[in-house]
Structure formats: C-alpha cells, structure tokens
Amino acid sequence: MSVKIRKMRSEDYAASMQILDKWNMAPVAPSATLQNPERSELDIEHSFVAERDGVIVGVSSYIVHSPELAETASLAVDPSCQGLGLGYQLQLARLREMQAKGIRKVHTETDREDTIAWYMRKFGYVRVGTNPKKHDFSLADVDEWTVLQLDLDTYQP
C-alpha cells in the first residue's frame, strides 16, 4: 500500500466531497431554509488529500481568519482506511502549512469525544468552550461543538 499526502487539486474535489459526505461533513450551499450552514465550501487552496494507489482516501482543510488565526475545517478518512494513521498525517500537513504561513493560533470544533481526546493527546490542543451547531452536521445527535485551540508558537510536530 502506497499512501501520499499532498495538496488538493481541482480533480480531487468530487472524491473529497464523497468522503466528507460519508461522515455527514460535506459542505452545503446556503439556501432559503439554511442561510448559514456550518460549511459552505471546500477551499482547494487550503486543503490536503491522502492518495492511496491513485484513489483519494482522506481530506483535510483549514480556513484563514486573520494573519495569525486559522480554523481547521474538515478532516475525514474513508472508513475502509481508518486506523492507518492517515488522519494524523493529514492533520500534520495542514498544521505545518499554517505554521509556515505565520499562523499562531488554530481553532478547531468537533463533536466526537474520541476526536477531542485525539486532538488533545496527539497535538496538545486545549478545550476552550462550546458552540451550538447551526444544523445537522457530523453527529446528528450532538447539538454543540467542543471548541479546541492550539498554540502554534509552542507546537512541535
């Protein structure tokens, strides 16, 4: 098995959206009934993919809010490839790029307890609060995000 983590290209978009959809995390366009969705786009410029034997099997992205603050936006791995460390590699790729761009703080929201523990244990995030969800996104039975923050000034990959 050969896996490569690389910047997303336009031709990776559809496969990336399919992976996000498997986790109920695919961005949706604003509409009359949902004017402000959790995610409305996947920015190719700020995204990475995991490619296994020519097939996209993972995706991660981030949003730049200011010269020093960014937010992770998507991290998903095809269920058939879970447990291979691809999520970790995708996270490292985006953190390294954010550091190289001078980002100092990273904000992350998640609704999965195992993911919260993983971010804290593997990367040194700290829990800083909660935010209510805007609609059914990710876990349907959880109505708020746990907000985590990472200080990239002190983070060492």
Q: Which CATH superfamily is domain 3-151 in?
A: Gcn5-related N-acetyltransferase (GNAT) (3.40.630.30)
Return the pLDDT at 32: 87
Give the number of other Cβ atoms within 10 Å of residue 109's Cβ: 18
b vs e for 120-154, b when ≥16 Cβ sit within 10 Å of the residue's Cβ?
eeebebeeeeeeebeeebbeeeeeebbbbbbebee
Cα 79–chain centre separation: 16
Task: Enumerate the domain spans of the chain.
Answer: 3-151
Return the pLDDT at 34: 79
Return the pLDDT at 29: 79
- The segments of the chain whose pLDDT lies below 70 read 1
Q: What is the pLDDT of residues 74-114, one digit of tens each?
A: 999 999 999 999 999 999 999 999 999 999 999 999 999 99
